């Protein structure tokens, strides 16, 4: 569809991906990828991602995004204005220009109200912190801003991985993986654990989609040489997991 914006109509396309095979399910967590291409070759394309819960009326029909033209115009206009001003309101991620493209890793911020519900999979760690605090003897402080970063001890990575494998509660697994990923990134020899994270995150991607997206640094191109050097040490393997774990699904616009 064409979206009317101050810099001219942009051609807007939507694609959708499930966090794992949808099978015969009527709803899945997934990611909608929105691209708005400018008529001017000198103006960057805008690409935004919205992670959320997608539904379909029946297994024979496409999933619905509920992103009408009005929602898309609001979203793209808002984020492009912030990008051109080179700043975003407090709490919102800034857009990065790469290869003539604004990469917006969390486009939900660009709407006053996003019509796509949040994922059923957790986004932030901490719901099972009491379990992990008791098991690992972690320090307790209710005022921690980034709990998994503050309590992680990289030298205990083997303990985290072993504990993860023993758990069946998704909340406990999610929080354990959150700490384990910090340890993976900060480990003296991170590649020792690469195969375990690769296998486990692919297997449990539906639970850890948000965590993989964060560490994969989706605001950068996959071939960005700074991906592993200036972002996170584990961004490159996490990007590979992200890109290979998404399952394309048919999407009905609007």
Per residue in 225-248, pLDDT (tens digit) is 777 666 799 999 999 999 999 999
Output the pTM of the full model.
0.90
CA dihedral 199, 175, 164, 141 (to 10 degrees): 140
| Digit-coded pLDDT (tens) for 127-167 | 999 999 999 998 877 777 889 999 999 999 999 999 999 99
- Would you state the structure tokens that stand for residue 79, as one six-digit string? 């984020």
Q: What is the pLDDT of residues 65-81, one digit of tens each?
A: 899 988 998 898 888 88
Measured CA to CA, the distance from residue 22 to residue 19 in angstroms comes to 8
Confidence band, pLDDT 50/70/90 cuts, at residue 4: confident
| DSSP letter string, 32-53 | EEEEEE-SSTTSPEEEEEEEEE
d(CA 132, CA 151): 10
């Amino acid at each position: 569809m064409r979206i009317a914006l101050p810099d001219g109509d942009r051609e807007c396309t939507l694609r959708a991906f499930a966090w794992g095979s949808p099978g015969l399910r009527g709803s899945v967590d997934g990611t909608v990828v929105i691209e708005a291409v400018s008529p001017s070759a000198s103006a960057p394309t805008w690409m935004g991602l919205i992670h959320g819960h997608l539904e379909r009326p029946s297994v024979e029909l496409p999933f619905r995004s509920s992103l009408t033209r009005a929602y898309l115009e609001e979203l793209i206009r808002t984020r492009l204005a912030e990008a051109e001003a080179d700043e975003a309101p407090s709490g919102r991620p800034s857009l990065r220009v790469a290869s003539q493209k604004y990469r917006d890793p969390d486009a939900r911020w660009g709407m006053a109200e996003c019509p796509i519900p949040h994922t059923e999979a957790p986004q932030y760690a901490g719901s099972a912190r009491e379990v992990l605090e008791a098991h690992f003897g972690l320090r307790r402080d209710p005022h921690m801003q980034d709990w998994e970063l503050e309590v992680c001890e990289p030298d205990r990575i083997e303990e985290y991985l072993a504990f993860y494998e023993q758990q069946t509660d998704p909340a406990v697994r999610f929080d354990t993986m959150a700490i384990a990923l910090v340890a993976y990134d900060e480990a003296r020899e991170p590649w020792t654990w690469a195969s375990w994270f690769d296998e486990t995150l692919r297997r449990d991607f539906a639970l850890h989609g948000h965590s993989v997206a964060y560490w994969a640094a989706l605001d950068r191109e996959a071939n960005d040489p700074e991906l592993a050097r200036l972002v996170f040490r584990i961004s490159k393997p996490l990007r590979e997991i992200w890109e290979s774990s998404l399952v394309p699904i048919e999407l009905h616009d609007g």
